[in-house]
Structure 1
Amino acid sequence: MSSLQIKHKNNEDILLELSGSTLEEVNLTGADLRNADLNSWILKGAFLARAHMEGAQLKEASLQSASLIEAKLAGADLKEADLSQADLRAADLEGAQLEGANLRGANLSDANLRGANLRNAKLIDTDLTEVDYDDKTVWPDGYENGQLHGVWRGWYPDGQKAVEGRYVHGEKNGLWTAWHRNGQKKRECEYNNSQKHGVWREWDEKGNRLVEGHFENGTKNGVWKYFYPSGKLQRQGEFLNSKEHGHWVTWYEDGQIAGEGNYHEGWKDGVWLNWYSNGVKHREGHYTQGRKDGEWSKWDEEGTLVEKQTFVNGQRTA
C-alpha cells in the first residue's frame, strides 16, 4: 500500500506517515506538523483544525475549502498558497507569510494577523471580522487596517476593466463605474457610505443609454427615465421611497404616446389612459389603490367604442 511522508523542512525527519496517495479531505485535526515541509502539497478540503503548524512551509500549497479553525500557523510560509473558501476562524497567523495567497471567500474572523504579511494577497469576499492586527501587519494595496480603502478596480479574464470605484474605510463612496466586456460603459452610480446616493445611469453593450435616475440614501427618488436602445424615451415618471408615485407616461418607439396615469405609493391611482400605436384611444378607466374602480371603456383601432364595463374594488359588476 502506498504511503505519504510529511517531513521536517530542515532535516527531513519524518513527522507523520500516512497511508494512501492523497491528502485531499484527510483528517489531521490537532496533528503536530511544526516546521513541516508541505510546499505545493494538495490538501483540498483537509481537516486541520487546531493543528500545530508553526513555522511550516506551505508555499503554493492547495488548501481550498480546508478546515483550519484555531490552527497554529505562526511564522508559517503560505506564499502563493490557495486558501480560497478555507475556514481560518480564530487561526493564529502571527508573523505568517501570506504574500500572494488566494484568500477569496475565506473566513478569517477572529484570526490573529499580528505581523502577518498579506502583500498582494487576494481578499475578495474574505471575512475579516474582528481580526487582530498591529502596525507590523502588511495589507494588500486597497486595504487599510483590514478594511477596503482607496481606489478599487476589477477586470474580466481577458484584462478588460470591469469596475472601478473608491472605498473609504470599508464603505463605497463617490462615483463607481462598470463596463461591459467589449469596453462600453455599462453603469455609473454614486455611493455615500455604501448606499446608492446620487445619479444612476445604465447603457447597453452598444453604448445606448437605457436608464437614468436618482437615488437618495439607497432609495429611488425623483424622476426616472427608461429608454429604447434607439435612444427614444420609453417610460418616465417619479419614484418616492423606491415606489412609483405621481404621473407616469409610456411611449412607443416612434414617439407616439402609449399610456399615462398616476401612481400613489406604488399603486395605480386615478384615471389611466392607453392608446394604439396609430394614436387612437384604446382604453380609459379609473384605479383606486391598484384596483379597477368605476367605469372602464375600450375602443377598437378605428376609434369605435366596443366595450364598457363597471368595476368595484377590482371586481367586475357590469
Structure 2
Amino acid sequence: GVLSNLIEVFDNRDQDQSGNDYDTMDKEWTEWYSNGEKRVEVSYEAEGDNNVGKGSGSWSIWFENGNDKLTQSYTNGKPEGKWSEWFESGTDKKEYSWKDGKLNGKYTEWFESGQEKIEGEYKDGQKDGSWTEYYASGEKKSAESYKDGSPDGKWTTWYANGNQKQESVWEDGSLTGKWTEWYADDQKSIEGEIETGQSTGKWTEWYADGTKSFEGTRKRTIVKEKWTSWHERVQASLDKQE
C-alpha cells in the first residue's frame, strides 16, 4: 500500500550520501514533478527511534497535472480517519474511513463520469448492512446485505437493461430460501428452494420463450454450481481491502 511505499522511501532517505543517519525520524517533506507541480507532501511523526511504521501523520499525493490523487492519515502506524482517492481528471474515485486500523463507516466508489459505482457500510473492518453496485449507466447491478461481515438477507442482481437477473436469500452466511433467475427480457428461467446451501423441494426451469423445460424435486447440478459461484463472489468481496 501507500504507507509501505512511503516508509520504503523514508528508509532510503534516512542516510545522507556519507552514510550518516539524519538527526531525526520525524518527517515533513515535499516533492515536485519536473513541471513544478507538487507530487508528494508528508507530515509524519515517528514513535520512538527508527520506528517509522509506528508513527502518526498525513500523506497527500498529486497527479502531474496538479489534481489530487489521494490523501491518507495514520495514528500510531494504523490507518485512521477519512481516506480519499481521485481520478486524474479530478473527479472522485473512492472515499472511506478507518477507525483504529479497521475500515469503519460509509464506503463509496465512483466511475470517472461521476456516477456512483459502489456504496455500502463497514463496521469494525467488516461489511455491514446494505451494499449496492451500479452500472456506468446508473442502473443497479447488485444489491447485497451483510450482518457482521457475513451475507445475510436478500441479494439481487440486475442486467444492464434494468431487468432483474437473480434473487436469493442468505441467512448467517448460508444460502437458504427461494432462488429465482430471469432471462434478460424478464422471462423467468429458474425457480426453486435452497436450504443451507442445498437445493430442496420442487424446482422449475423455463426456456427463453417461456415454455417449461423442467419441473421436479431432484437435486439440480446447476444450482450447486451457481451456489458455489455466489460463495466465490462473496469471498472475493469480503477479501477485498480498499
Q: Which of residues 184, 188, 193 in structure 1 aligns to 2:100?
A: 193
- Is the contact between residue 291 and residue 314 of structure 1 (CA under 8 Å) also seen in structure 2? no
Q: Which of residues 208, 217, 239 in structure 2 aligns to 1:310?
A: 217
Q: Which of residues 176, 179, 186 in structure 2 aligns to 1:272?
A: 179
Which residue of 1 is the match for residue 43 of structure 2?
141
**How far is 1:224 from its partner?**
0.5
Please, what TM-score do these two structures have when normalized by structure 1? 0.54
SS in 2 for 1:142: strand
User: Could you tell me how far apart the structure 1 residues matched to 2:25 and 2:221 are?
Assistant: 66
Instruction: From the superposition, tell whether residues 237 and 287 of structure 1 become closer, same or farther in structure 2 (CA, over 3 Å).
Output: same
**How far is 1:237 from its partner?**
2.3
User: Could you tell me how far apart the structure 2 residues matched to 1:303 and 1:170 are?
Assistant: 59
Question: Which amino acid in 1 is paired with 2:185?
Answer: N
Question: Which amino acid in 2 is paired with 1:244?
Answer: P
**How far is 1:296 from its partner?**
1.5
Alignment of 1:221-300 (within 5 A): 221-300=128-207
Q: Which of residues 57, 60, 70 in structure 2 aligns to 1:150?
A: 57
Which residue of 1 is the match for residue 79 of structure 2?
172
Which residue of 2 is the match for residue 203 of structure 1?
110
Q: Deviations over 1:214-272 (max 9, x none)?
A: 00000001011011111111111211232221111222233222221201233321111
SS in 1 for 2:80: strand
User: Could you tell me how far apart the structure 2 residues matched to 1:200 and 1:118 are?
Assistant: 31
Question: Which amino acid in 2 is paired with 1:143?
Answer: E
Q: Which of residues 151, 156, 162 in structure 1 aligns to 2:69?
A: 162
**How far is 1:158 from its partner?**
5.7
Please, what TM-score do these two structures have when normalized by structure 2? 0.69
SS in 2 for 1:302: coil
User: Could you tell me how far apart the structure 2 residues matched to 1:288 and 1:314 are?
Assistant: 15
User: Could you tell me how far apart the structure 1 residues matched to 2:127 and 2:25 are?
Assistant: 42
Listed as ranges, the gaps of 5+ residues in structure 1 are: 1-64, 67-76, 83-92, 99-114, 123-139
| Larger gyration radius, structure 1 or structure 2 | 1
User: Could you tell me how far apart the structure 2 residues matched to 1:267 and 1:225 are?
Assistant: 20
Which residue of 1 is the match for residue 229 of structure 2?
none
Question: Which amino acid in 2 is paired with 1:247?
Answer: K
User: Could you tell me how far apart the structure 2 residues matched to 1:151 and 1:209 are?
Assistant: 27
- Is the contact between residue 163 and residue 176 of structure 1 (CA under 8 Å) also seen in structure 2? yes
Q: Deviations over 1:35-62 (max 9, x none)?
A: xxxxxxxxxxxxxxxxxxxxxxxxxxxx
User: Could you tell me how far apart the structure 2 residues matched to 1:255 and 1:158 are?
Assistant: 37
- Is the contact between residue 68 and residue 90 of structure 2 (CA under 8 Å) also seen in structure 1? yes
Question: Which amino acid in 1 is paired with 2:173?
Answer: G
Question: Which amino acid in 1 is paired with 2:122?
Answer: F
Q: Deviations over 1:101-122 (max 9, x none)?
A: xxxxxxxxxxxxxx44665579
Q: Greater helix percent: which structure?
A: 2
Question: Which amino acid in 1 is paired with 2:59?
Answer: W
Question: Which amino acid in 2 is paired with 1:257?
Answer: Q
Question: Which amino acid in 2 is paired with 1:270?
Answer: G
Larger deviation: 224-233 or 240-249? 240-249
Q: Deviations over 1:109-150 (max 9, x none)?
A: xxxxxx44665579xxxxxxxxxxxxxxxxx73224344323
Larger deviation: 152-161 or 228-237? 152-161
Listed as ranges, the gaps of 5+ residues in structure 2 are: 1-10, 31-41, 224-242
Q: Which structure carries more relative contact order (alpha carbon 8 Å, separation 6+)?
A: 2
Which residue of 1 is the match for residue 122 of structure 2?
215
Alignment of 1:55-204 (within 5 A): 78-79=15-16, 81=17, 96-98=20-22, 115-116=23-24, 119=27, 141-145=43-47, 146=52, 147-156=54-63, 160-204=67-111
- Paired residue total: 196
**How far is 1:168 from its partner?**
2.2
Report the RMSD for the aligned CA atoms in angstroms.
3.1
Question: Which amino acid in 1 is paired with 2:191?
Answer: E
**How far is 1:303 from its partner?**
1.9
Identity %: 25
- Is the contact between residue 288 and residue 313 of structure 1 (CA under 8 Å) also seen in structure 2? no
Instruction: From the superposition, tell whether residues 117 and 236 of structure 1 become closer, same or farther in structure 2 (CA, over 3 Å).
Output: closer
